[in-house]
Structure 1
Amino acid sequence: MLTIRTVPDPVLRELCAPVSAFDGALAALAWDMLRAMYAAPGRGLAAPQVGVASRLFVTDVAWKEGAPDPRVFANPEILSVSEEMEEAEEGCLSIPGVPCLVRRPVAVRLRWQGLDGAGAEDLFEGWAARCVLHEYDHLDGILCTDRVQAA
């Protein structure tokens, strides 16, 4: 089982490098990340949270309420975000016990590569958008505590 890194581990503040090899090692890392995420139990996990400074994250937004729907995102790119914003509480596996009230767009259009390197694009809304944006932030060394706005 992978160990989830917690603050103040410096890997959490690194700008992650693009994924360049779409091979068995990448697939193994992604599936190991999903296992660690489910065990935590979380809804998303980014590679730097397990000590790997690569532009890779995994999510499963609905597994706690329904059937598992694991997703793997390599080299994600935000294409657009909604103008409509919403403030909600977020937790982070790398900052246990510290909920953050974060304002984020309610929708995001994302492009990424799958484990085979093939491109994909989709629109995420609601909690799925929040989860994708939270994990995407990790790839740039940004934590949810950085997004908390002063009262």
Structure 2
Amino acid sequence: MEREHRVHGLEPVGQPGRREGDRREHQRHEHHQLGHHAGGRRCALPAIRPVNHLLDHDQIVILTHQDSDLFAQAHDHGDRGVVVAYQADDIDPLTHLGWSVVATGYCRPITDPDALTRYQRLLRPWLGPVMNCAVRIRPHLVTGIRPTV
């Protein structure tokens, strides 16, 4: 059985009238999950790649390289950003217990050299070429599931 949590104004099916305080609590929980797990998958354009991330002021930061489609699209859209989805999860392969969170929002390039240096120091890419750029995803919709027995 799965429980599904939705935040930012969307209510789970079968739970009309959920109070605003409940929504905020679920939002805090989903952001907490992102902040305590460093791996996930970013989905854009429609490429999906395993990456690690950090949560900085409720925004998801990932490193990328200058030639990536993600960075090119984020850069081309500038301050408007480009819509992406980011998934992080921690599900036990034997028990199938854990959690999964999907954050959808606008992705923008990080242009501040000091911020980029800081993120390069804090994040260690899993694979690929040298990660000389970074992007920031500001989630507008965060949903999650927690499989239960």
Q: What is the TM-score of this pair, normalised by structure 2?
A: 0.25
Q: Which structure shows the bigger proportion of residues in strand conformation?
A: 2
Q: What is the TM-score of this pair, normalised by structure 1?
A: 0.25
Greater length-normalized contact order (CA 8 Å, ≥ 6 residues apart): 2
Larger radius of gyration: 2
